[in-house]
């Protein structure tokens, strides 16, 4: 965020995937960086609220139920739609190849922080390379800690 001069309050984030990487990322963005997390999803549900989501409550829900399913009916959003909502930071932190070339053209984020291993397809990488409005932090940097831990496991 310093590199692209986007520091300060008022920043928003969407986190796709609410497992080890996504839930900790959402908590860190909110608690330590003061960034409003406006969207989260896992394999069972997606939630969006432009005013911000209660990450601690969502973390408790996921811990107790094993997923985000059932947390709210009013804030539900299709997880695929969640990826293309307006935000400052988009963190795909679940599965590989979730951002294809169509989605890459529709992204409305300023920073794409690849928390998952290989969340973009080769075609979407080419689209993102041509866009000057999205700063990509590739998985090799953004998730290198996770990769190292998997190696040791």
Q: Is 7 a member of any domain?
A: no
User: Hey, what are 23's tokens?
Assistant: 């839930």
User: Hey, what are 21's tokens?
Assistant: 């990487």
User: Are the C-beta atoms of residues 143 and 115 closer than 8 Å to each other?
Assistant: yes
pLDDT of residue 8: 63
Q: Is 73 a member of any domain?
A: yes
Residue 75: domain span: 12-152
Distance CA 108, CA 110 (A): 7
Could you tell me the pTM of the whole model?
0.92
pLDDT of residue 10: 86
Q: Is 3 a member of any domain?
A: no
> Would you give per-residue pLDDT tens digits along the chain (153 residues)?
777 777 667 899 999 999 989 999 999 999 999 999 999 999 999 999 999 999 999 999 999 999 999 999 999 999 889 999 999 999 999 989 999 999 999 999 999 999 998 999 999 999 999 999 999 999 988 888 776 776 677
Q: Is 2 a member of any domain?
A: no
CATH classification of the domain holding 45: 3.40.50.720
Task: Report helix, strand or coil for 57.
Answer: helix
Q: Is 58 a member of any domain?
A: yes
What's the total number of domains in the chain?
1
Task: Report helix, strand or coil for 23.
Answer: helix
Between the two ends of the chain, the Cα-to-Cα distance in Å is 31
């Amino acid at each position: 965020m310093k590199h692209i001069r986007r520091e300060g309050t008022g920043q928003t984030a969407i986190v796709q995937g609410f497992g080890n990487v996504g839930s900790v990322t959402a908590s860190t963005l909110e608690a330590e960086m003061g960034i409003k997390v406006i969207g989260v999803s896992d394999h069972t549900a997606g939630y969006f609220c432009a005013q911000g989501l209660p990450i601690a409550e969502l973390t408790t829900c996921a811990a107790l139920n094993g997923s985000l399913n059932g947390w709210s009916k009013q804030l539900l959003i299709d997880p695929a739609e969640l990826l293309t909502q307006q935000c400052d930071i988009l963190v795909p932190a679940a599965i590989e190849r979730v951002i294809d070339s169509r989605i890459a053209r529709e992204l409305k984020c300023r920073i794409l922080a690849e928390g998952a291993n290989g969340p973009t397809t080769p075609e979407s990488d080419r689209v993102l390379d041509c866009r000057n409005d999205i700063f990509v932090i590739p998985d090799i940097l953004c998730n290198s800690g996770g990769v190292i831990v998997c190696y040791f496991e």
